Chain A
């Protein structure tokens, strides 16, 4: 158990809909990262938050947005869903990296299926 909690574990929805994925990082971790894993693209970095502020953006579509709340949990919002958005979405957290390896601790993922 990594200590990172993601909900829901599975989600099935229709094209055009909007979903919210939730992540609670490990206790004490200030950074939250979101990754998308699809069969053809592999693990793609989407976005990172650090202590409530956006720190870095990767290959995140404009239809997707995220935020990190004062209690450090994070939500990833996916809207106007398309078939190609079907993927496993991971949240990961890490400690402040100084003196640390920078290892990311991953949640179990939220598997999104868009029909």
Chain B
């Protein structure tokens, strides 16, 4: 079974500063995928960034980067130059290995609520 742990229920960051949201995971799969989603107060789930377990480089998408440390089983999200619109819940999630006709539902962590202070 896969498990995602996000230990920070809430975080504050000053506007224009960088912030790191922690995520650790547990799986026995050798191949897997890691995701970060953003959920603003309006409720929709917005995909931010993806990291494959065999990807050698850390993923980056604009101001978002994923600090992937496979040996430590961590996949922290780094948001640079925080903006007021970054205030939201952030969820780390994991997909299992691909295996024929398997199911690839994502397992989510409990989330971290990020508040950006002007």
Contact = CB atoms under 8 A, between A and B. Distances in A.
Contacts of B106: 33, 45, 102, 104
Given A97-B98, A101-B52, A103-B35, A45 B43 contact: no
Interface string A70-108: 000000000000000000101010100110011111111
Interface residues of B, number: 23
A55 B42 CA distance: 30
Contacts of A42: 108-111
Nearest to B52: A101
Interface string B7-43: 0000000000000000000000000010101000011
Given A48-B103, A102-B33, A103-B50, A43 B44 contact: no
A102 B104 contact: yes
A58 B52 CA distance: 24
Interface in B35-91: 35, 37, 42-45, 47, 50, 52, 91
A112 to B, nearest CB: 13
The dominant DSSP class at the B interface is loop
B105 A45 contact: yes
The dominant DSSP class at the A interface is strand
A106 B44 contact: yes
A86 to B, nearest CB: 14
B3 to A, nearest CB: 12
Given A98-B98, A101-B35, 15 more contacts: A31-B104, A33-B106, A42-B110, A43-B108, A55-B101, A55-B103, A101-B50, A101-B95, A102-B33, A102-B104, A103-B35, A104-B47, A104-B106, A106-B44, A109-B45
